């Protein structure tokens, strides 16, 4: 009897271990999800490892011959990350990814298709031109909202339009950003208003400490974001902002990477934890919810950039802290992976239409393909340099 009962519990344990992670089919919530504005949406919910990134990683794993690296790479498939809806054509596949989310998880999505997108750079220019705001509303935002409304039992975290409002604060002397400004403002407000649903938690993109963290940018930055929030009717689904999206800054680093430079004295937000402190205070003063999620997808290694503003495929980078609600900071709801590590930030081919000179700098990895497309060699570097390691 003893023997067989030991055998039984052992075999049960083995079945459980095999079944849970490989199939990823834990049950969806049986009733509608409501995320209170006072609640941390990530508390008790793990960021879902979406099937799009999982497929990219699994294809990458198959191409790796080194067995040790291959084993590490395979683990990346289980890390939660955000799905980027960066063109209208990505919307039909959205629901099939979304509805694989279990009740213990939250699905991350990036809203990223404003008219005149990426007005201060070239690598991520979008499909919609300035003047196409009605297309953005009716063919991009509205269909996404319909899909979310059809899936009320799933918790969703949405990052709203990376780089857009920050560009209006610091790049207003560029004609491209000037002509995009009114549609950015109206488009973001429209997205916030329409996505104000019980099961959605929104975070408006706020750049990073090296962007809106400059002393002179804190108040204008917070005002710009708060205006969008207020113009949307102060939606209760807005929890605050996303920082360091696709970025490289450390969470805590003293002194900061660029603190002891001549300009360092003009920026108190030398790491993302200090950005949370200072920009969080500015948001509160401006009358906006001030919780943060911070992208730690690629910030494991510091000291790589020649200048703080260098943003393209930084050479030597590693995967950072895995998504978690344990941040040690009451304003930081979670560390998340927003940028899917391995997808390029921009092409290094100087003859390409979307070539941006930042992708040709000495600290940028070359060769790199077009933004959003897979760079196998860069993915392997991220694994080798990961902290914590895989
Ligand atoms: C998930 O979404 C896909 C695509 O819309 C649909 O075909 C499928 O039936 C859905 N599955 C569930 C469980 O809702
Ligand atoms: C825009 O302003 C920034 C700093 O405020 C400056 O570095 C840059 O050269 C200006 N660009 C143009 C096109 O005037």
Judged against a pLDDT cut of 90, whether residue 21 lies above it is answered with no
| Distances in whole angstroms, Cα of residue 145 to Cα of each of 94, 109, 337 | 11, 12, 23
- CATH code at position 379: 3.20.20.40
Instruction: State the pLDDT at residue 25.
Output: 62
Mean pLDDT of 302-314: 98
Q: What percent of the chain has pLDDT over 90?
A: 93
Longest dimension (CA), the chain: 81
Burial 37-48 (b: 16+ CB within 10 A, else e): eeebbbeebbbb
Question: Which residue lies with its CA nearest to atom 11 of ligand 1?
Answer: 99
Q: Is the CB of 173 under 6 A from ligand 2?
A: yes
Give the list of residues 6+ apart from residue 75 with CB closer than 8 angstroms, or none.
Answer: 390
Q: Which of 5-14, 106-115, 232-241, 377-386 has the lowest mean pLDDT?
A: 5-14
Number of compact structural domains in the chain: 1
Instruction: State the pLDDT at residue 251.
Output: 98
Angle at 49 between CA 44 and CA 54, to 5 degrees: 170
Judged against a pLDDT cut of 50, whether residue 168 lies above it is answered with yes
Judged against a pLDDT cut of 60, whether residue 19 lies above it is answered with no
Angle at 297 between CA 356 and CA 116, to 5 degrees: 35
Which H, E and C letters describe 254-299, residue by residue? CCCCCCCCHHHHHECCCCHHHHHHHHHHHHHHHCCCCEEEEECCCC
Q: What percent of the chain has pLDDT over 70?
A: 94
Contact between 29 and 48 (Cβ < 8 Å): no
Question: Which residue lies with its CA nearest to atom 12 of ligand 1?
Answer: 99
Report DSSP letters for 285-347, one per residue. HHTS--EEEEE-TT-S--S--SSTT--SSBTT----SPSBS--S-TTEEEEE--S-TTB-SS-
Give strand pairing partners of 352.
none
pLDDT tens across 90-121, in order?
Answer: 999 999 999 999 999 999 999 999 999 999 99
Place of tokens 């080798």: 384
Q: Which of 30-34, 61-65, 121-125 has the lowest mean pLDDT?
A: 121-125
Nearest to 246 by CA among 118, 357, 390: 118
Say which of 271, 295, 333, 345 is annotated catalytic: 345
Residue 239 DSSP label = E
pLDDT-derived band at 134 (thresholds 50, 70, 90) equals: very high
Say which of 113, 163, 271, 356 is annotated catalytic: 163
Indicate the SS3 state at residue 46. Answer: strand
pLDDT-derived band at 3 (thresholds 50, 70, 90) equals: very low
In a domain, 155, yes or no: yes
In a domain, 9, yes or no: no
Instruction: State the pLDDT at residue 43.
Output: 98
In a domain, 25, yes or no: no
Mean pLDDT of 60-64: 98
Structure tokens at 41: 């949406």
Contact between 328 and 335 (Cβ < 8 Å): no
Catalytic annotation present for 78: no
Judged against a pLDDT cut of 70, whether residue 11 lies above it is answered with no
pLDDT tens across 171-205, in order?
Answer: 999 999 999 999 999 999 999 999 999 999 999 99
In a domain, 126, yes or no: yes
Domain region containing 167: 35-384
Q: Is residue 86 part of an annotated ligand binding site? A: yes
Mean pLDDT of 201-216: 98
ω into 381 cis (within 30 of 0): no
Judged against a pLDDT cut of 60, whether residue 10 lies above it is answered with no
Measured CA to CA, the distance from residue 52 to residue 256 in angstroms comes to 35
| Distances in whole angstroms, Cα of residue 232 to Cα of each of 207, 238, 243 | 20, 10, 21
Judged against a pLDDT cut of 90, whether residue 6 lies above it is answered with no
Report DSSP letters for 155-224, one per residue. -EEEEE-TTHHHHHHH-TTSHHHHHHHHHHHHHHHHHHHHT--TTEEEEEE---TTTTTBHHHHHHHHHH
Distance 173 CA to ligand 2 centre (A): 6
Angle at 241 between CA 164 and CA 227, to 5 degrees: 65
Which is more confidently placed, 373 or 19?
A: 373
In a domain, 367, yes or no: yes
In a domain, 13, yes or no: no
Give the list of residues 6+ apart from residue 390 with CB closer than 8 angstroms, or none.
Answer: 72, 73, 75, 76, 319, 383
Catalytic annotation present for 345: yes
Instruction: State the pLDDT at residue 261.
Output: 95
Mean pLDDT of 21-46: 87
- 14 burial level (CB within 10 Å; 0-12, 13-18, 19+): exposed
Measured CA to CA, the distance from residue 337 to residue 324 in angstroms comes to 10
Instruction: State the pLDDT at residue 124.
Output: 85
Judged against a pLDDT cut of 50, whether residue 12 lies above it is answered with no
Mean pLDDT of 221-249: 98
Nearest ligand (C-alpha, residue 101): 1
Mean pLDDT of 357-365: 98
In a domain, 7, yes or no: no
Residue 229 DSSP label = H
pLDDT-derived band at 5 (thresholds 50, 70, 90) equals: very low
- State the closest ligand 1 atom to the C-alpha of 28, by its place in the atom list counted from 1: 13
Average pLDDT, the chain: 94
In a domain, 251, yes or no: yes
- State the closest ligand 1 atom to the C-alpha of 99, by its place in the atom list counted from 1: 1
Judged against a pLDDT cut of 50, whether residue 148 lies above it is answered with yes
pLDDT-derived band at 167 (thresholds 50, 70, 90) equals: very high
Structure tokens at 72: 């590490």
Question: Which residue lies with its CA nearest to atom 8 of ligand 1?
Answer: 96
């Amino acid at each position: 009897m003893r023997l067989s009962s030991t055998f039984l519990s052992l075999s049960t344990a083995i079945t459980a271990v095999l079944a849970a992670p490989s199939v990823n089919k834990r049950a969806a919530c049986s009733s509608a999800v409501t995320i209170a504005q006072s609640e941390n949406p990530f508390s008790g919910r793990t960021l879902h490892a979406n099937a799009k990134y999982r497929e990219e990683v699994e294809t990458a794993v198959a191409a790796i011959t080194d067995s040790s690296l291959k084993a590490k790479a395979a683990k990346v498939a289980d890390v939660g990350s955000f799905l980027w809806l960066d063109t209208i054509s990505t919307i039909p596949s959205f629901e099939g990814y979304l509805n694989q989310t279990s009740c213990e998880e939250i699905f991350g999505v990036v809203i990223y298709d404003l008219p005149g997108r990426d007005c201060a750079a070239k690598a991520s220019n979008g499909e919609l031109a300035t003047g196409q705001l009605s297309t953005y509303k009716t063919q991009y935002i509205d269909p996404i909202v319909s899909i979310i409304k059809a899936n009320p039992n799933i918790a969703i975290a949405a990052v709203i339009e990376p780089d857009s409002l920050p560009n209006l604060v610091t790049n207003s002397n560029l004609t491209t950003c000037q002509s995009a400004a009114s549609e950015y403002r109206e488009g973001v407000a429209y997205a916030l208003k329409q996505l104000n649903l019980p099961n959605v938690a929104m975070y408006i993109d706020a750049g990073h400490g090296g962007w809106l963290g400059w002393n002179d940018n804190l108040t204008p930055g917070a005002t710009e974001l708060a205006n969008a929030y207020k113009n949307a009717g102060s939606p209760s689904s807005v929890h605050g902002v996303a920082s360091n999206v696709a970025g490289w800054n450390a969470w805590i680093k003293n002194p900061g990477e660029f603190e002891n430079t001549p300009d360092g004295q003009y920026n108190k937000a030398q790491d993302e934890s200090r950005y949370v402190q200072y920009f969080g205070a500015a948001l509160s003063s401006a009358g906006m919810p001030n919780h943060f999620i911070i992208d730690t997808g690629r910030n494991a290694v510091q000291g790589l950039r020649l200048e703080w503003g260098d943003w393209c495929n930084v050479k030597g980078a590693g995967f950072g802290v895995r998504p978690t609600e344990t941040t040690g900071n009451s304003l930081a709801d979670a560390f998340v992976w927003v940028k899917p590590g391995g997808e390029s930030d921009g092409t290094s081919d100087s003859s390409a239409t979307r070539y941006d000179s930042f992708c040709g700098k000495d600290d940028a990895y070359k060769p790199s393909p077009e933004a959003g497309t897979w760079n196998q060699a860069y993915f392997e570097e991220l694994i080798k340099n990961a902290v914590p390691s895989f």
